[in-house]
């Protein structure tokens, strides 16, 4: 019996992406999936830079966040691929390495905390899929018929315990999109990074050689919108398109939608209820296709 999830909202969602927060809350509540917000969390921390610069710091900060969920007695649920990568990897590493766990707990003891390794970490994609595609299908009142969607899983969503399971969550993502009634569009560069991590050291590489190629492939395949499962990827696709236009003269105007927004739209929520009206690139074409206003 599902007792609920400890919600790890990440640094950005509650402050920068109210649309992701609103749509996620409404989808979970509509499906009857219980959750409680985690209090006192910090950055996950970010998996790319922090993990490379100081792995012990990365592990310790992640363990502190995990200990909060352990205190709640609930598995962690994250809406961000990067947070998922960090919390999942740190959780598994510390469970399997007693010496690392001891070192981390020595530091955590200074603030009255301890990592025990008693919970699991889930991405929203997993939680929704495991709740049941049929249950989601039954809640769809506004099928997204005629909407062509390209899925961008994002690099960190491929993280898994077993190497052979690397594609499982990406496939879950596609099946969740399909259950809304939308049409999945295959394209050549699905596994290519969105380019966000490269921005810090080579903006031209990030935009011209990564995002530009990705967008070109998606548009060429005939997609109306790109669906993401990560706020960082969401940001890169929206802001990155504006940068491509101003700096390289490449214009795509391809809307971006987070998975919970997509499902919430199919559940019949109005655009204003889930923040679709604050997107930088309007979803006008998609909303017209399914006959949604307001």
Domain assignment present for residue 129? The answer is: no
Q: How many CA atoms lie within 13 A of 259 on its CB side?
A: 32
Out of 97, 124, 151, a domain closes at 124
**pLDDT for residue 74 is more than 60:** yes
Same domain, 146 and 240: yes
**Omega within 30 of 0 (cis) for the link into 178:** no
pLDDT value of residue 1: 52
Out of 124, 158, 181, a domain closes at 124
How far apart (Å, rounded) are the C-alpha atoms in residues 210 and 189? 10
Q: Are 79 and 24 in contact (CB under 8 A)?
A: yes
What is the residue range of 54's domain? 5-124
State percent of the chain over pLDDT 70: 99
**pLDDT for residue 149 is more than 80:** yes
**How many angstroms separate the Cα of 53 from the Cα of each of 30, 48, 103, 271?**
41, 9, 18, 41
Q: Are 261 and 274 in contact (CB under 8 A)?
A: yes
pLDDT band at residue 47, thresholds of 50, 70 and 90?
A: confident
Same domain, 68 and 167: no
Q: Are 212 and 186 in contact (CB under 8 A)?
A: no
Find the range with the poorest average confidence among 51-55, 74-78, 280-284.
51-55
Considering only residues 199 and 274, tell me which one the structure prediction assigns the higher pLDDT. 274
Helix axes 259-266, 124-131, angle to 10 degrees: 30
Domain assignment present for residue 130? The answer is: no
**pLDDT for residue 61 is more than 80:** yes
Q: What is the CATH number of the domain that holds 165?
A: 3.40.50.11810
Same domain, 151 and 20: no
Out of 89, 124, 159, a domain closes at 124
Same domain, 119 and 186: no
Encode burial over 8-45: b for 16+ CB neighbours within 10 A, e otherwise: bbbbbbeeebebbbbbbbbbbebbebebeebeebeebb
Same domain, 181 and 283: yes
Same domain, 274 and 157: yes
Same domain, 161 and 100: no
Same domain, 88 and 205: no
pLDDT value of residue 14: 87
Same domain, 157 and 283: yes
Same domain, 164 and 227: yes
pLDDT value of residue 222: 97
Same domain, 213 and 154: yes
Q: How many CA atoms lie within 13 A of 19 on its CB side?
A: 22
**pLDDT for residue 269 is more than 60:** yes
Q: What is the CATH number of the domain that holds 67?
A: 1.20.1050.140
Query: Per-residue DSSP letters for the chain?
Result: ----EEEE-TTTHHHH-HHHHHHHHHHHHHHT--EEE--S------TTHHHHH-HHHHHHHHHHHHHHHHHHT--EEES-HHHHHHHHHHHHHHHH-HHHHHHHHHHHGGGT--------EEEHHHHHHHH-HHHHHHH-SS--TT-EEEEE--GGGG--SSGGGTTHHHHHHHHHHHTTTPEE---TTTTS--SGGGGGT-HHHHIIIIIHHHHHHHHHTT-SEEEES-HHHHHHHHHHHHHHHHHH-------EEEHHHHHHHHTT--GGGTTGGG-SS--HHHHHHHT---
Q: How many CA atoms lie within 13 A of 37 on its CB side?
A: 9
Considering only residues 195 and 139, tell me which one the structure prediction assigns the higher pLDDT. 139
Predicted confidence (pLDDT) per residue in 113-133, tens digit: 999 999 999 999 999 999 999
* Strands ordered across the beta sheet of 225-228: 183-184, 148-152, 225-228, 256-258
Domain assignment present for residue 136? The answer is: no
Predicted confidence (pLDDT) per residue in 155-182, tens digit: 989 988 887 788 999 999 999 999 999 9
Same domain, 155 and 279: yes
Assigned token pair, 263: 């499902």
- Structurally, the chain folds into a number of domains equal to 2
Number of Cβ within 10 Å of residue 261's Cβ equals 28
């Amino acid at each position: 019996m599902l007792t609920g999830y400890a919600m790890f909202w990440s640094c950005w969602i509650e402050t920068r992406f109210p649309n992701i927060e609103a749509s996620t809350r409404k989808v979970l509540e509509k499906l009857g999936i219980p959750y409680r917000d985690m209090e006192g969390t910090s950055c996950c921390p970010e998996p790319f830079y922090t993990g490379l610069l100081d792995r012990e710091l990365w592990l310790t900060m992640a363990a502190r966040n995990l200990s909060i969920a352990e205190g709640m007695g609930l598995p962690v649920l994250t809406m961000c691929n990067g947070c998922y990568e960090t919390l999942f990897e740190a959780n598994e590493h510390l469970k399997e390495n007693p010496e690392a766990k001891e070192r981390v707990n020595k530091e955590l003891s200074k603030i009255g905390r301890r990592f025990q390794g008693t919970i699991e970490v889930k991405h929203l994609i997993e939680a929704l899929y495991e709740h049941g595609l049929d249950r989601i299908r039954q809640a769809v009142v506004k099928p997204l018929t005629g909407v062509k969607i390209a899925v961008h899983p994002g690099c960190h969503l491929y993280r898994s315990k077993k190497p052979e399971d690397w594609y499982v969550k990406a496939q879950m993502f596609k099946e969740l999109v399909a259950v809304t009634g939308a049409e999945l569009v295959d394209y050549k560069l699905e596994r290519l990074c969105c380019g966000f991590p490269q921005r810090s050291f080579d903006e031209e590489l990030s935009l011209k050689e990564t995002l530009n190629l990705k967008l070109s492939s998606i548009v060429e395949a005939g997609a109306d919108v790109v669906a993401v499962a990560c706020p960082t990827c969401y940001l890169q696709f929206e802001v990155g398109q504006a940068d491509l236009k101003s700096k390289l003269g490449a214009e795509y105007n391809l809307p971006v939608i987070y998975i919970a927004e997509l499902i919430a739209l199919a559940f019949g929520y109005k655009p204003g209820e889930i923040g679709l009206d604050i997107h930088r690139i309007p979803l006008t074409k998609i909303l017209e296709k399914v006959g949604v206003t307001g």
